[in-house]
Amino acid sequence: MRMVTTLSVLVLGIGGIGHALVTGLDSGIGRIDPFKDMKNRPESGHGTNILLVGTDGRDRITKQERHKYRLGGAPCRCTDTIMLVHISADRERASIVSLPRDSYAEIPAHTDMTSGLKHGRHAVKLNAAYAEGGPALTVRTVEDLTKVKVDHYLEVDFTSFMKTVDAVGGVEICTARPMKDTHSGLDLPAGTHRLDGGKALQYVRARHVDGAADLGRMQRQQRFMAALVEQATGSGVLLNPVKLRQVSTTALNSVRADKGFGTDQMLTLGRTMRGFGPASTEFTSVPVKDPSFPVRGVGSTVKWDTAKADRLFRALREDKPLTPQGVEKAPSKAKVVDVAPKQIRVQVYNGTQLDGLGSRVDNALKATGFDTTRAPRNAAHRNVKRTFISYDPRWDRSARSLAVALPGAELRPVPGQGPTLKVTAGSGYTSVTPVRAETPRARGAFEAVTGDEVLCR
């Protein structure tokens, strides 16, 4: 989840910053060699692959921060989040793949860095690779699973994440419904929010706001990453040398990276990514076949869909986009709602003497994605002024989502009506507001979305 911080490294040079500004920044980076003595590695593909790892290290968190942001537990010294970032060879696209931390993995033979004991190949959860063998074993395990060669390794912690978010001025996220997680301390009402570093940490750590657990959390992390890229590229930070150096120093202060990812590499990457932004990023997670795959001695693991995962990682190796090109996207200014329009069945009634009003409303709702009957009817009363929505209280979330598309419409509960919502258009009707679900429908074989599709609009 703190991988969002290291994404800042990728956008440091977007404005074409010079060597004088960057020189010295990497002195704050802890250097490691996760590739030492590695053999039988996958072949290099096109583009650059960066393994982003977030540990649960909290050594530099103050007592006040530990209490306020629910960080008092003992760290497990393991990776809490793992992502593969693929930068295309033409530097016009970043493909970000989340690897569930509880993924079933067979860890390569190694020597445990804590006990010194030698272990053969055995089954674990993916995040255990770091606990047993640190960055080197993590890289080996990820390469073994994905057959993607890792070119660079970046690792961050809680402190770097919070300070980086604060340095860029906070990040804006939106949620269609209240989000509350007593474990992380997250408590957000529905709406749009600008999160500071501490609140942002709670948002990306939250696992108990719905039944999706880690898989839902990965989607929220991806939305946050897209928002961070937009904030960094659209706020003027990259064009202000003083502010840029402040943000860069903060972001890199607690980062650990391989010895080969230094000043020159950052500059090269930055100079060729001038036009990089949310629309240039695409997000997905490894396709999952079984989210609760039991393994003796390990527990419940996340079992990948091997066939789909193989196609996904082959696309990364071959430097191909994960989202289909030329596919029509949801309206960029669509308002976020709790329930996807395609899941809401609507019957339209014309409550006025205006000919064709029912068809106009039906067509407009259909155009924004609602499942209309395509057979509008005349209402019993034809003198309605204010549009109203009749709905069964059991489908109240759907009703509230539909109401967003019909500003000013009145909600009228009708117990027992059933799942179909009824819209009676009044003379005050003007237009339908485009809406979309909080998590847009994934597109393409790998269920990937671009960053601009998950931003607040």
**Are 323 and 358 members of one domain?**
no
Distances in Å between the alpha carbon of 65 and those of 83, 160, 169? Answer: 26, 13, 19
In this prediction, residue 157 carries a pLDDT of: 73
- 4 has a pLDDT exceeding 50: no
Look at residues 180, 205, 243, 168 and name the one whose alpha carbon lies nearest to residue 1. 205
**Are 309 and 225 members of one domain?**
yes
Lowest mean per-residue pLDDT among 170-174, 219-223, 284-288, 441-445 = 441-445
**Are 313 and 421 members of one domain?**
no
Residue 81 sits in a domain of what CATH number? Answer: 3.40.630.190
| Overall domain count for the chain | 2
- 435 has a pLDDT exceeding 90: no
**Are 67 and 124 members of one domain?**
yes
In this prediction, residue 279 carries a pLDDT of: 73
In this prediction, residue 116 carries a pLDDT of: 80
- 453 has a pLDDT exceeding 80: no
- 69 has a pLDDT exceeding 80: no
Per-residue pLDDT band for 344 (boundaries 50, 70, 90) equals very high
* Tens digits of residue pLDDT in 186-222: 888 888 889 888 888 888 877 666 655 566 677 777 7
Phi, psi of 348 (to 5 degrees): -100, 140
Give the residue, 254 or 372, on which the prediction is more confident. Answer: 372
Angle (nearest 5°) at CA 128 between 124 and 131: 145
Report the alpha-carbon distance of residue 245 to residue 17 in Å, rounded.
Answer: 10
**Are 69 and 110 members of one domain?**
yes
Give the residue, 58 or 161, on which the prediction is more confident. Answer: 161
**Are 325 and 347 members of one domain?**
no
Per-residue pLDDT band for 181 (boundaries 50, 70, 90) equals confident
Report the alpha-carbon distance of residue 257 to residue 240 in Å, rounded.
Answer: 26
Per-residue pLDDT band for 19 (boundaries 50, 70, 90) equals low
**Are 396 and 247 members of one domain?**
no
Report the alpha-carbon distance of residue 155 to residue 292 in Å, rounded.
Answer: 27
Average pLDDT, the chain: 80
* Tens digits of residue pLDDT in 267-279: 566 555 555 666 7
Residues of the chain with pLDDT > 70, as a percent, come to: 72
Q: Give the containing element (helix H, strand E) for 133.
A: helix 128-146
**Are 131 and 189 members of one domain?**
yes
- 9 has a pLDDT exceeding 50: no
* Tens digits of residue pLDDT in 374-433: 999 999 999 999 999 999 999 998 999 999 999 999 999 999 999 999 999 999 999 999
Mean pLDDT of 355-368: 92
- 5 has a pLDDT exceeding 80: no
Report the alpha-carbon distance of residue 418 to residue 368 in Å, rounded.
Answer: 23
The position carrying tokens 């074989």 is 445
* Tens digits of residue pLDDT in 219-235: 777 778 777 777 766 66
Give the residue, 303 or 232, on which the prediction is more confident. Answer: 303
**Are 275 and 370 members of one domain?**
no
**Are 236 and 282 members of one domain?**
yes
Find the domain containing 155 and state its range.
3-330+442-453
Report the alpha-carbon distance of residue 54 to residue 293 in Å, rounded.
Answer: 24
Look at residues 405, 393, 277, 284 and name the one whose alpha carbon lies nearest to residue 336. 405
In this prediction, residue 443 carries a pLDDT of: 53
**Are 325 and 380 members of one domain?**
no
Mean pLDDT of 276-295: 83
In this prediction, residue 144 carries a pLDDT of: 94
Per-residue pLDDT band for 10 (boundaries 50, 70, 90) equals very low
**Are 139 and 167 members of one domain?**
yes
3-class SS of residue 53: strand
In this prediction, residue 198 carries a pLDDT of: 82
Pair 332, 440: CB distance under 8 Å: no
